[in-house]
Amino acid sequence: MDERDLVFYGTPIEREEELSSRKKKAVAEASGQLRTLPTWKQEVRDEEGRRRFHGAFTGGYSAGYYNTVGSKEGWAPQTFTSSRKNRAELKQQSILNFLDDDEKADLEGQSLATSTQFDTFGFTASEVARKQADKEQDKRPSAIPGPVPDELVLPAAESIGAKLLLKMGWRHGRSIKDSSTDSLYDARREARKAFIAFSSSDDTKSNIDGDANHVNDHSNSLERPVNDDNLSSQYTPLNALQPKQDLHGLGYDPYKHAPEFRAGKAGPGFGIGALEEYDIEDEDVYTTAAYDFEDTVVQEVEDSSKPITDHKHRLTWKEPGILPGFKVASISDYQVEKFNAPEVPKDFVPRHKFAGPLKVEDKTAVPPPPDVPPPEDSNMKVLIEGVATLVGRCGKLFEDLSREKNQSNPSFGFLMGGNGHEYYERKLWEAQQKYKDQKKLPLPSDGKSSQKTEKMNAENRGKILGERPLERSSSSLVSPDVNLQSNLSDTFMKPLQFSELPEVSKPFKDNSAKQERFQQFLKEKYKGGLRSGESGGASNMSEAVRAQERLDFELAAEALEKANRGQQSNLSAQQSMDFLTSAGMQFTSAGVEQSKDTLDKDFEMKKMYPKREENQWRPSPVLCKRFDLVDPYMGKLPPPPRMRGKIDSLVFKAEFIPVPRIGDKTGQNQNRSSGGLQSSAQGVRDGSADEEEDEVVVDVENVERPVDLYKAIFSDDSDEEAETSKVSKVEDPEKKVEVANATLNRLMAGDFLESLGKELGLEVPPDLPPYSHTNQNPSALEKETTGLNPRDGSSVKMVAEVPKSMDDQSPPRGKLDEVKVVKITEEDRKQGSPPPSEDRMDRRHSKRQRRYDSISDSYSSSSGDDSDRDRYSSKSKGRRKKGSSSRDKKSSSSRKHSRRRHHRSSSRSSRRDKDRGESKREKRKRRD
């Protein structure tokens, strides 16, 4: 039976597994784009439900025509043909060109547009018309190829309200008010506008929206009714002219005080790439006044707004103090809260009190005119003095006035620089000085400071003391008495000042008699030229001493005065005093020097500069080469790089240890030898020294750091082997005693030494058989051989044999050479050279090193016998046994090996071991 023939009721119950899978699918489908699934499980399908993306193994992205291009025909490149008759259409790309159909549909769905049936006011129609016009214009050939840029024909951005109002007959700038005259007019205008709108295909430029105003204005001028006079009053201000696009506060003009930035940061042709940011360096440091970029740029900026704003009336714009677009409110709730200024206390004197007197500047600033004898004519003198006093009191103005007034009067000639002018000047100066003093006096009222009392003049003192002022001649204010008095006050004032000197400022306080004489001297000095005969000094003094003292006093007084004048503190005054007393004869006050300094500053600058310095500078070799010059530092060591920091320097030191060692070998050797002598005194260490010796060989040959470090520790005993052996020749009995002691001590100290070595983290020198001390050279060799052939039972025998072949005459050389290459030593021996000095030895070391290298190369070909293998195995054994404290020969030798292994990390050194072993063997063979 076919299922189709059956009728089903109800919903069949689905099986579990089916349900789950199908439901999932259903749910996924229902949710649309499989949104519930994680991203990587979602499938992308096209509108036909085909999978468009496959896995990498199933073809990847399938697109277009079977993963090729858009169509069956394939892809054809776009062609462009344009001829004079057949102008190519300039295609303008829009976003729609790049959208798929579905995307376009989406886009349309989102964009709102008035459908024609709801286009009540015909906006859309007009818009369509406008577009049509544009299109037609595009097709027409014009002076400017291509479409008219949209920027030129700007649609008015108007709100819908404005649009509605416009539709209702309102026009920009007019008040919204129903006026019968206007309405009639507007109706007419409306009709015209509609006509224009629909015939816009003829009119190239006119479109309802953009040019409505233009048309309006035009028509206004043509058939505007007579009510032009009240037109202005009907205008409503258009305020929001420029849409706000920035993030500044309302009315805030960021360029208000910096209009030069308004144009942007740089003019055309300047600036940097678009991807770079402006730095501080990119600022135009030069004042580019020659360019008017700002203007042009500003113009451009304004252009965009011009079509909108130009024809509008801005009534409220230019009012000062009001933000653009705002009006001042007539009624305001805002009241400025005013705070009264703080009340000035009544006793407040608005003048700053200086700690010290200002007198100094006055005195130093104006040099006094020379003292001139008064003119003979007493009337003249009186007149001059009177005028001077007045001028001094009242200022320069009085002088000018009186000069003008008495231009013709010959007796006032002194004012114009005639007779008695110098005297007048002097008197004027005196009067001014006096007046200044008087002016200054009332200000400081506290009598505490001694300086102020010093400035006291006779009148004030008289007042304080209750003295009656001297009787003045009643004839005139400007009697000569005034001058006399002032002079007197001066003369009295200064000695007083000195007599009241504080204890500290007494320059000769340790000599009371002298101090007294000094005070006397001061008093007399200010009295004038008259001096009593005995005043110059004590009567019992000789003429020369007196003159000397006089000189001292003079200088001391000068310094004292200076100290006071310079409003220095008591301390500094005392300092200068101390200086005076201590310096004795050479009085040169510091103040004078300082002034000199300022005077000569320029001169000194010139003298100081240019300064020349010379330093070492190392040109790099390449630089020398490029300059075609010989490197002045050729062959010299590179300079140590400059220390940058602590860490760097530390690193450096570690690295640089080897360098000086190679450089000054001689110093090293001296160290070694001295150290070696010390150590050779200790018999215990002698044995170890023997082994050290081949360590040294290694050191010299191999300049690696670890080895060198090791050398720094152990090399002491190395080269002095030669020395000690020499010494041993000379001081044989002593040596023998030493040796005997050593052999005794060895047994006892062995344990101790080993433990010490362990403590220091070093290998313990192995024990040596006693006979090695009789001749150290063979012992060294023996060590070598035993080390090389630890298993060889004949090692001891060999040791016994080796000394025979040795030339006793050249122990150090022979020893070292034999360790390395036999041939060389034999050569040297033939020459019969005396034992070389340490320097020579070093040279030979290096020489040998070179030779050795070549030889070792030649030898290396025959490396690989059993003995070698044996040796290495023993080495490894030795390493394993390192910790053991057994003192038999074998273990010690193996320990030695292990140590060597420690220090020779490079493969080359191991090869050298091998070579050495071979040379040994060869030697042995020859001897056998």
Question: Which residues of this protein are in contact with other proteins, per CB under 8 A?
Answer: 267-270, 272-273, 276, 281-282, 284-291, 605-606, 608-620, 622-624, 626-630, 632-633
Angle at alpha carbon of residue 283, lines to 278 and 288, rounded to 5°: 140
With beta carbons less than 8 A apart as the criterion, state whether 97 and 88 touch. no
As measured in angstroms, the least distance from the Cβ of 708 to other proteins is 29
Give the count of beta carbons closer than 10 Å to the beta carbon of residue 333.
5
Nearest residue (CB) to other proteins, 266 versus 749 = 266
Please say whether the beta carbons of 514 and 549 come within 8 A. Answer: yes
Closer Cβ to other proteins, 97 or 616, answer by number? 616
Q: Is 148 helix (H, G, I), strand (E, B) or coil?
A: coil
Residue closer to other proteins by CB (options 261, 270) is: 270
DSSP assigned state of 319: -
Q: Which is nearer to other proteins, 276 or 404 (CB)?
A: 276
For the stretch 258-263, contacts whose Cβ atoms lie closer than 8 Å and that sit 24 or more positions apart, written own/partner, are 259/294, 260/294, 262/294, 262/298, 263/293, 263/294, 263/295, 263/297, 263/298
> Given the structure tokens 């209750």, which residue do they identify?
466
Q: How far is the CB of 283 from other proteins (least distance, A)?
A: 11
Pick from 779, 821, 804, 786: which is nearest to 919 by CA? 821
| Whole-angstrom distance, CA of residue 409 vs CA of residue 376 | 19
In the complex, least distance from residue 662 CB atom to other proteins, rounded to whole angstroms: 22
- Name beta bridge partners: 778: none
Please count the other Cβ atoms lying within 10 Å of the Cβ belonging to residue 436: 15
Question: Cβ 619 to other proteins, closest distance in Å?
Answer: 4
Q: Give me the least distance between CB of 71 and other proteins, in Å please.
A: 44
Distance of CA 750 to the CA centre of its chain: 64
Which residues have C-beta within 8 Å of that of residue 33, sequence separation ≥ 6? 42
Of 513 and 623, nearer to other proteins (C-beta) is 623
Looking at the Cβ atoms of 72 and 642, the one nearer to other proteins is 642
Which residues fall within 8 angstroms of residue 899, CB to CB, at 6 or more apart? 763
Nearer CB in complex with other proteins: 76/290: 290
Determine the Cα–Cα distance for residues 377 and 384; give it in Å rounded to an integer. 11
Give which of 832, 791, 790, 773 is closest to 808, Cα–Cα. 832
Distance CA 904, CA 704 (A): 9
**At 280, which amino acid appears?**
I
Nearer to other proteins by Cβ, of 310 and 614: the residue is 614
Record the tokens describing residue 646, joined without a space. 């602590």
Report CA-CA distances (Å) from 471 to 345, 434, 479, 497, 547.
Answer: 42, 20, 11, 26, 42
Q: Find out whether 431 and 369 touch, Cβ atoms under 8 Å.
A: no
Q: Cβ closer to other proteins: 281 or 361?
A: 281
Q: Is 478 helix (H, G, I), strand (E, B) or coil?
A: coil
Nearest approach, Cβ of residue 272 and other proteins (Å): 6
Q: Helix, strand or coil for residue 51? A: strand
Q: Hey, is 53 helix, strand or coil?
A: strand
Q: How far is the CB of 728 from other proteins (least distance, A)?
A: 50
Looking at beta carbons only, is 187 or 623 nearer to other proteins? 623
The residue (of 75 and 270) whose beta carbon lies closer to other proteins is 270
**CA dist 394 → 9, 387, 388, 390, 918 (Å):** 132, 10, 10, 6, 119
Nearer to other proteins, 176 or 285 (CB): 285
State the nearest-atom distance from the C-beta of 678 to other proteins, in Å. Answer: 43
Q: DSSP secondary-structure letter at 791? A: T
Q: What are phi and psi of 287, to 5 degrees?
A: -80, 100
CB atoms within 10 A of CB 375: 17
Instruction: Supply the minimum distance, in Å, between the C-beta of residue 599 and other proteins.
Output: 19
- The CA distance from 677 to 34, in Å, is 94
Cis peptide before 610 (omega within 30 of 0): yes
Q: How far is the CB of 597 from other proteins (least distance, A)?
A: 17
**Amino acid occupying residue 24:** K
Give the SS3 label for residue 919. helix
Beta bridge partners of residue 178, listed in sequence order: none
| Location of structure tokens 């729609």 | 96
Min CB(260)–other proteins separation in Å: 16
CB of 640 to other proteins, least distance (A): 16
CB of 275 to other proteins, least distance (A): 10
Determine whether 778 is exposed, middle or buried from the number of CB atoms within 10 Å of its CB (0-12, 13-18, 19+).
Answer: buried
CB nearer other proteins, residue 222 or residue 289: 289
Q: Which is nearer to other proteins, 633 or 872 (CB)?
A: 633
- For other proteins, the closer CB: 363 or 606: 606
Spatial distance between the Cα atoms of 175 and 374, rounded to a whole number of angstroms: 93
Whose tokens are 């010690």? That residue is 892
Which lies closer to other proteins via its Cβ, residue 7 or residue 285? 285
Q: Whole-angstrom Cα distance, residue 727 to residue 681?
A: 11
Cα angle 759-763-765, degrees, rounded to a multiple of 5: 115
SS (H, E, C) 810-838: CHHHHHHHHHHCHHHHHHHHHHCCCCCCH
Q: CB of 612: closest distance to other proteins in angstroms? A: 4
Shortest reach from residue 649's CB to other proteins, in Å: 18
Residue whose tokens read 């390493």 = 879
Between 12 and 273, name the residue whose CB sits nearer to other proteins: 273
Rounded to a whole number of angstroms, the minimum distance from the CB of residue 633 to other proteins is 6
| Residue 259 Cβ vs other proteins, minimum distance, rounded to whole Å | 20
For residues 192 and 606, which CB has a smaller minimum distance to other proteins in the complex? 606
Least Å distance, CB 294 to other proteins, is: 14
DSSP letter (8 states) at residue 224 = -
